[in-house]
Amino acid sequence: MKNLKEYFMDEVLQQIKSKEARNFVQKELAYHLRKTKSELVAAGLSEEAAEEKAVLQMGSPSELGQQFNKLHRPRIDWMLLGLFIFSLGMGLLPILSVKGETYSYSLIANQTTFIVAGTVTALVMMYFDYRKLKKWDWLFLAIGLVMLLAILLIPNIMVNGTPYIRILGLNISSITALPFLFIFWASYFSKQKPKPWVIITIYLITTFLFVSLTALPVAMIYSFLMLALYWGSAFSRKTIYITTYIVAGISVMFSTLFWFVSKPYQKERIFGFLNPEADPTGSGYMYIKINELMTGGGWFGNEKTPQFVPELSTDFAFATVTYYYGWLVASGLVLVLVLLVSRLFFMTSKIKDPFGKQLVFGAIALFSIQFIYNIGMSFGLLPFISISLPFISHGLTPAVLNSFIIGVALSVYRRKDLVTKFES
C-alpha cells in the first residue's frame, strides 16, 4: 500500500511529459523531501510525522508537477538547428555550378545524399543523451588510437598520397578518428583534477600518429581543439597562461628549425604563398588562380567557366561560390557560418554541466579553425592545405563528422535543465 510520499510523487510525475525530466524531478524531489524530513526529525518529530509534514510543505502536487514540466522539459535550440540545416543546404551551391550534365547530376545526387546523412546524424545525436558518452571516454580514446594505427599499418587505398582504409564502401582516413578523440578529451578535461602527465603523453602519441600519416591539417585542427578544451578546463588561469606561452615558444622554435632543415621544394611552396607572381607557373600558380576566382565573380557572379582549378567543390568551395554567385551570396554564406559559431558561444553561458560545456567548447574550436583557415586560404592570407569549409565542401566524411558534432551540441542544449545535482 502506498504512503503519502509515494502518492505525492506519483501525482507530481504524472504532470511531466518527458521521461528524462521525470527521472530528474524524481531525484530532485527525493533529495528535498529527505533533507526536510531530516531537519524535522532533528527538531523532535517522529519519522512518520516528519515525512508527512515534509510532503505537505511541498504544496499541491499537480501544480508543482506542472511547474516542473515547464522548467525541466527538454529544449531544442531551433536557431542552431536552423542555421545548421541552412548551412548544409548551401553545400549544394558549389556542386550546382559544375558544368556537364551527367557529371553535374551525379555530384548533386551525391551531395544531396550527404546532406540527408548529415541531417539524420545530427537529429539522432540530438535525441541521444550525451551524458552516456562520458562513461565510455577511455573506450573512445582506444577506438581513435586503433583507427589511426590501422590506417598507418594496413592501409588498403591511397588517395593523393593519403592512406585510407576502405570498409563497406567508406573511405576511413585520419580525420575519422577526430570525433572519438574529441569525446575523450571533452570528458577528461571536464574532471576536477585532470593529470598533466596523462594529457601530455596521450597528446604526443596521437599527434605523432597524425604526423606519421602526413595528416598535418588534421594535426593542426586536433591541436587547436586541445588548446580550446584546455582553456575551458579546471586548471588555474596562471597554469593555463604559462603553459600556453611555453607551447607558443616551442612552436616558434620548431617553425624556425623547420625552415633551416626543409627541402628546396618545401621552401618553394612557402615562397609561392608569400610571392605568387615570382613563380606564376609553378609554386604560385594555384594562389594566382584562386585569386582570379575570388575577384572574377563581382557582386552578382560570373557565368563563364574558369580555367580548371582542382578541388573547386571541396577545399576551394568558397572560391567557387564567390566566382559563380558573387560577393553577395558569398557574404551571406560567411554570415550564416559566423552566426552558427556565435550561437555555440551563446550556448556555453547556458550550460551548467562541465562535460556538456567542454563538448560545446570543442565544437566551437573544431568549426572555428576549419572556417577561419578555409576562408583565409581562399583570400590568400594563409598557405594552401587540405582543409574543408564546414558543411559547404563536398564529401560524405566531413558532412557526417561535422553534423555529428552539431548533434552533440544540440543534445547538450536539449538537456541543459536536466543537470543532476541531487543524489537519490
Q: Is the pLDDT of residue 359 over 90?
A: yes
Q: Tell me the β-bridge partners of 166.
A: 171
Instruction: Give a yes or no: residue 176 inside a domain.
Output: yes
Instruction: Give a yes or no: residue 32 inside a domain.
Output: yes
Q: Is the pLDDT of residue 250 over 60?
A: yes
Cβ atoms of 317 and 329 within 8 Å: the answer is no
Instruction: Give a yes or no: residue 421 inside a domain.
Output: no
Cβ atoms of 323 and 297 within 8 Å: the answer is yes
Instruction: Give a yes or no: residue 419 inside a domain.
Output: no
C-alpha separations of 230 from 189, 196, 226, 234 in Å: 7, 10, 6, 8
Out of 56-60, 184-188, 342-346, least confident range: 56-60
Whole domain around residue 60: which residue ranges? 4-72
Cβ atoms of 373 and 382 within 8 Å: the answer is yes
Same domain, 172 and 68: no
Same domain, 190 and 255: yes
pLDDT of residue 318: 87
Cβ atoms of 147 and 164 within 8 Å: the answer is no
DSSP H or E segment with residue 164: strand 162-167
Same domain, 273 and 408: yes
C-alpha separations of 292 from 13, 241, 243, 297, 356 in Å: 64, 42, 42, 9, 43
Grid cell in block for residue 227: 588548446
* Tally of helices (H runs) and strands (E runs) in the chain: 17, 3
96 confidence band (pLDDT: 50, 70, 90): confident
| pTM for the full predicted model | 0.83
Q: Torsion angle, CA of 34/38/40/45, rounded to 10 degrees?
A: 110
Give the Cα-Cα-Cα angle 416, 417, 419 (nearest 5 degrees). Answer: 80
Q: Which of 49, 72, 95 represents a domain boundary (last residue)?
A: 72
Same domain, 64 and 105: no
Report pLDDT digits (tens) over 193-211: 888 899 999 999 999 999 8
Buried b (16+ CB within 10 A) or exposed e, 183-209: bbbbbbbbeeebeeeebeebbeebbeb
Same domain, 54 and 107: no
Distance CA 113, CA 396 (A): 8
Nearest-CA neighbor of 317 among 113, 109, 79, 88?
88
Same domain, 52 and 178: no
Nearest-CA neighbor of 148 among 138, 168, 163?
163
pLDDT of residue 106: 75
What mean pLDDT comes out for the span 31-35? 78
Same domain, 220 and 363: yes
Q: Which of 51, 72, 93 represents a domain boundary (last residue)?
A: 72
Report pLDDT digits (tens) over 119-171: 999 999 999 989 999 999 999 999 999 999 988 888 667 666 677 787 766 67
Same domain, 120 and 51: no
Cβ atoms of 221 and 369 within 8 Å: the answer is yes
422 confidence band (pLDDT: 50, 70, 90): very low
Instruction: Give a yes or no: residue 423 inside a domain.
Output: no
Same domain, 334 and 298: yes
Q: How many alpha carbons lie under 13 Å from residue 344 in its C-beta half-sphere?
A: 27
Nearest-CA neighbor of 214 among 267, 160, 276, 169?
160
Nearest-CA neighbor of 175 among 421, 391, 386, 415?
386
Q: Which of 72, 93, 119 represents a domain boundary (last residue)?
A: 72
Grid cell in block for residue 419: 543537470
Same domain, 58 and 83: no
Q: Torsion angle, CA of 179/185/188/192, rounded to 10 degrees?
A: -130
Phi, psi of 5, deg, nearest 5: -65, -45
Instruction: Give a yes or no: residue 420 inside a domain.
Output: no
311 confidence band (pLDDT: 50, 70, 90): low
Say how many domains are in the chain. 2
Distance CA 324, CA 309 (A): 14
Distance CA 115, CA 121 (A): 10
Instruction: Give a yes or no: residue 383 inside a domain.
Output: yes
pLDDT of residue 396: 79
Three-class SS string for 340-364?
Answer: HHHHHHHHHCCCCCHHHHHHHHHHH
Grid cell in block for residue 337: 557560418
Same domain, 304 and 398: yes
pLDDT of residue 33: 76
| Strands 162-167 and 170-172, sheet pairing | antiparallel
More confident residue, 356 or 95: 356
Same domain, 56 and 136: no
pLDDT of residue 406: 95
Instruction: Give a yes or no: residue 377 inside a domain.
Output: yes
